[in-house]
């Protein structure tokens, strides 16, 4: 592994020296060993900075959970070469139960989880690691459209009725939080389908959860098999840290025939590689202090699918400070015209280029272009045969290193918990009112005077923003652009997000809507307004990098949803909970004073998508007009 830093005039070497001077790695290993040997009661957060950085502490100042499993699993795995075989044996047993009960082979896997419990599976799919074995679907939304599209695709591929398909399916529920309810919503609906068709679902369901959590209580009561998340029997990993070494990461890889022995060995970083991780952490931290906190990621083609996972690991871990953040920009085409010149004091970009030795493609040319242009750049080169697990473990050390320098806990997620609490409140209000559309939160949004309609069935709502649009802004796109430009010019925002609450992965109309949003992101935001922008799907975003948006702020959030929701009547699946999450996301951002607007689309058909594209085109034209 080779790390090269270019145009580093930030003084990062002084920060890196602290890791050496304070013997951080050695102290980290000693602390984790003490926690496992003597128990959490032996730890005092007030006496050891590392305790407060990587562990959860309750209101009485006592350590309630160790979060350093992300590192010690790799340390311990060196003494347990049998772990890979143990996983393979467990998977054989699961396949055997399905074969014995239903007389059929495993053909499909539905993985129900949110955020860190799902993003690594999406990354493995995108990187081609799961091409063999049963087909895996990531169910990371409470939008009925996603489950409906998944079931439809399974029936088409199997060319069999749903009852036969469900017998061939393994359903995995995973949640690393006590209050994560989304997997329970989906599992309960799938459980109903099995019951409706008279199929014994017990061989087909497994779950990974904390003892006593919502998921644990649901699944245990139905006799489903619980899988211990960690092969050492512990529970010291946060959801986003469950990859690459927990069963939540190893199970899908094992089902696909990936060499688990090589995968696990890939996480055995040398002392020099960990030093490089701390060196990169120092570089990124120092650049952030200098105002360059927009890290543009350039992954290798073979690993391009790891971008969102990387983004989540950084932003959910390090997004808690309003004063200092770190934004990972992904999915961008490198165009110098979209960036401010390197010598411009307001230039806020740095670049992280990742490659594998010998890879072909245009990455090397882009690195050369950026380096010659004078932009701060970190180039990280892995061996050609390095498994993806090596990159993932390296990035975990980088994230920890930044957390150490910023004295920031990198395992907690208070912003995510806020959104969950508001969702629960909205759901209870809806039940009391007799339906979501009668709930106060829904009525306040729909009846707000701060809204504007656009021909074609699009409605812009901005009740959570206090500023008024410019007098010249008359139409919905003009109002949208006026609000965004005012916030940008006042330095209240410096990036944006376009988050659609619905399925953009499996349903055809959802995929096409994603393309519309990607085009708007490139033309309106990146090229037109010179702003980084994320395009993603909610509520998965809330569990992935919402921490950065709600914690650090400085984002212009646009959340979108279709007014005509999908439903699955066969199992009583409506979009009410999903729409409650849409409302709760806005309320959580508003509670923290963040800029958020909503766009409601009539539906997801071609006409609505063309209307949305026209909306963003007009917003860009207005922003460039002399009279705005």
Determine contact, residues 415/319, Cβ cutoff 8 Å.
yes
178: pLDDT strictly greater than 90: no
Residue 80 is assigned to a structural domain of this protein: no
- Asked whether residue 78 is domain-assigned, the answer is no
Distance CA 251, CA 242 (A): 12
- The answer on 107 and 215 residing in a single domain is yes
The Cα diameter of the chain in Å comes to: 73
User: pLDDT digit string (tens) for 107-153?
Assistant: 999 999 998 899 999 999 999 999 999 999 999 999 999 999 999 99
Give the model confidence (pLDDT) of 444-456 as tens digits.
999 999 999 999 9
The reply to whether 86 falls in a domain is no
Task: Identify the CA nearest to 124 among candidates 315, 260, 268, 328.
Answer: 260
Do both 400 and 440 map to the same domain?
no
DSSP structure class, residue 410? S
Residue 116 · residue 238 · CB < 8 Å: yes
Domain boundary residue among 260, 294, 312?
260
- The answer to whether position 95 is within a domain reads no
The pLDDT of residue 177 is above 80 = no
Helix/strand/coil for 623: helix
Reply yes or no on whether the pLDDT at 18 is more than 80. yes
**Residue 507 pLDDT > 70:** yes
The per-residue pLDDT for 413 is: 84
**Which phi and psi angles does 401 have, rounded to 5°?**
-60, -40
Residue 279 sits in the same domain as residue 356:
yes
Based on the domain organization, do 237 and 312 belong to the same domain?
no
Does residue 499 share a domain with residue 352?
A: no
SS (H, E, C) 521-560: HHHHHHHHCCCCEEEEEECHHHHHCHHHHHHCCCEEEEEE
Same domain membership, residue 226 and residue 274: no
pLDDT score recorded for residue 367: 87
Scanning the structure block, which residue is given the tokens 């991780």? 277
**Same structural domain for residues 372 and 398?**
yes
- Strands 377-382, 349-356: parallel, antiparallel or unpaired by DSSP? parallel
State the pLDDT at residue 166: 98
Domain limit, last residue, from 233, 260, 287: 260
Give the residue among 503, 513, 500, 569 at the shortest CA–CA distance from 153: 503
Which residue among 405, 433, 456 closes a domain?
405
- Asked if residue 603 has pLDDT above 90, the reply is yes
396: its two tokens: 């975990």
446 and 502 together in one domain: yes
- Interval 230-240 mean pLDDT: 90
For residue 436, tell me if it sits in a domain.
yes
Asked whether residue 84 is assigned to any structural domain, the reply reads no
* Cα 462 to Cα 451: distance, rounded to the nearest angstrom: 6
* Long-range CB contact pairs, 503-507, < 8 A, 24+: 503/141, 503/143, 503/145, 503/146, 503/149, 503/537, 504/537, 505/138, 505/146, 505/537, 506/137, 506/146, 506/149, 506/150, 506/153, 507/145, 507/146, 507/148, 507/149, 507/604
Residue 526 has pLDDT above 70, yes or no: yes
The better pLDDT of the pair 41, 245 is held by: 245
How many structural domains comprise the chain? 3
Q: Does residue 362 have a pLDDT over 80?
A: no
Q: Is the pTM of this model over 0.75?
A: yes
Q: What's 314's domain CATH number?
A: 3.40.50.10490
Same domain flag for 401 and 539: no
pLDDT by residue (tens digit) across 547-590?
A: 899 999 999 999 999 999 999 999 999 999 999 999 999 999 99
DSSP 467: S
DSSP 228: -
DSSP assignments along 494-524, one per residue = SEEEEEEES-SSSSHHHHHHHHHHHHHIIII
Provide the domain limits for residue 160.
Answer: 102-260
Whether residue 33 lies inside any domain: the answer is yes
Give the chain's mean pLDDT.
Answer: 94
> Higher model confidence: residue 9 or residue 114?
114
Same domain? 598 vs 454:
yes
Q: Are residues 276 and 238 in the same domain?
A: no
Residue 310's pLDDT band, with cuts at 50, 70 and 90, is very high
Residue 79 inside a domain? The answer is no
Q: How confident is the model at residue 248 (pLDDT cuts 50, 70, 90)?
A: very high
For residues 392 and 513, membership in a common domain is answered with: no
């Amino acid at each position: 592994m080779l790390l090269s830093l270019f145009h580093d005039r930030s003084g990062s070497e002084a920060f890196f020296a602290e890791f050496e001077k304070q013997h951080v790695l050695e102290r980290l290993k000693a602390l984790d060993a003490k926690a496992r040997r003597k128990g959490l009661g032996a730890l005092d957060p007030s006496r050891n900075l590392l305790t407060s950085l990587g562990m959860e502490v309750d209101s009485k100042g006592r350590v309630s959970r160790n979060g350093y499993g992300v590192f010690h699993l790799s340390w311990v795995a060196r003494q347990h070469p049998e772990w890979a075989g143990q996983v393979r044996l467990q998977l054989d047993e699961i396949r055997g139960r399905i074969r014995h009960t239903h007389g059929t082979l495993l053909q499909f896997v539905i993985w129900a989880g949110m955020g860190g419990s799902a993003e690594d599976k999406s990354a493995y799919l995108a990187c081609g690691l799961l091409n063999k074995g049963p087909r895996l679907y990531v169910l990371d939304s409470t939008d009925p459209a996603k489950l409906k599209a998944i079931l439809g695709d399974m029936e088409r591929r199997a060319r069999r009725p749903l009852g036969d398909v469900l017998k061939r399916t393994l359903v995995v529920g995973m949640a690393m939080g006590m209050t994560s309810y989304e997997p329970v919503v989906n599992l309960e609906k799938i459980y109903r389908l099995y019951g409706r068709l008279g199929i014994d679902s017990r061989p087909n369901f497994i779950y990974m959860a904390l003892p006593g959590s919502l998921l644990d209580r649901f699944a245990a009561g139905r006799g489903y098999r619980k899988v211990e998340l960690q092969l050492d029997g512990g529970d010291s990993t946060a959801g986003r840290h469950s990859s690459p070494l927990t069963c939540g990461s190893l199970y899908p890889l094992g089902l696909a025939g990936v060499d688990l022995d090589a995968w696990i060995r890939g996480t055995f970083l040398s002392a020099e590689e960990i030093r490089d991780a701390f060196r990169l952490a120092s570089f990124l931290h120092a650049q952030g202090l200098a105002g360059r906190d927009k890290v543009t990621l350039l992954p290798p083609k073979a690993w391009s699918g790891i971008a969102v996972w990387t983004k989540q690991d950084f932003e959910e871990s390090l997004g808690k400070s309003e004063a200092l953040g770190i934004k990972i920009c992904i999915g961008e085409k490198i165009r110098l015209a979209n960036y401010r010149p390197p010598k411009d004091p307001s230039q806020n970009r740095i670049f992280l280029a990742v490659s594998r030795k010998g890879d072909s493609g245009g990455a090397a040319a882009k690195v050369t272009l950026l380096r010659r242009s004078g932009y701060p750049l970190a180039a990280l080169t892995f061996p050609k045969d390095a498994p993806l697990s090596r990159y993932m473990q390296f990035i975990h050390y980088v994230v920890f290193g930044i957390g150490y320098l910023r004295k920031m806990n990198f395992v907690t997620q208070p912003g995510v918990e806020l959104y969950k609490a508001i969702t629960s409140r909205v759901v209870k209000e809806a039940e009391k009112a007799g339906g979501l559309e009668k709930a106060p939160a829904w009525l306040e949004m729909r009846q707000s005077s701060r809204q504007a309609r656009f021909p074609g069935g699009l409605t812009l709502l901005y009740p959570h923003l206090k500023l008024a649009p410019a007098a010249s802004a008359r139409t919905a796109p003009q109002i949208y652009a006026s609000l965004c430009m005012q916030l940008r010019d006042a330095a209240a925002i410096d990036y944006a997000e376009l988050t659609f609450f619905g399925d953009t992965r499996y349903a055809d109309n959802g995929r096409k809507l994603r393309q519309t949003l990607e085009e708007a992101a490139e033309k309106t935001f990146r090229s037109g307004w010179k702003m980084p922008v994320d395009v993603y799907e909610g509520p998965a975003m809330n569990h992935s990098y919402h921490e950065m948006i709600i914690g650090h702020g400085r984002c212009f959030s646009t959340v979108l949803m279709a007014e005509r929701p999908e439903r699955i009547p066969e199992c009583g699946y409506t979009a009410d909970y999903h729409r409650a999450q849409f409302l709760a996301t806005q309320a959580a951002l508003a509670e923290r004073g963040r800029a958020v607007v909503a766009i409601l689309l009539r539906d997801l058909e071609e006409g609505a998508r063309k209307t949305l594209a026209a909306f963003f085109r007009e917003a860009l034209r207005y922003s460039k007009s002399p009279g705005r």
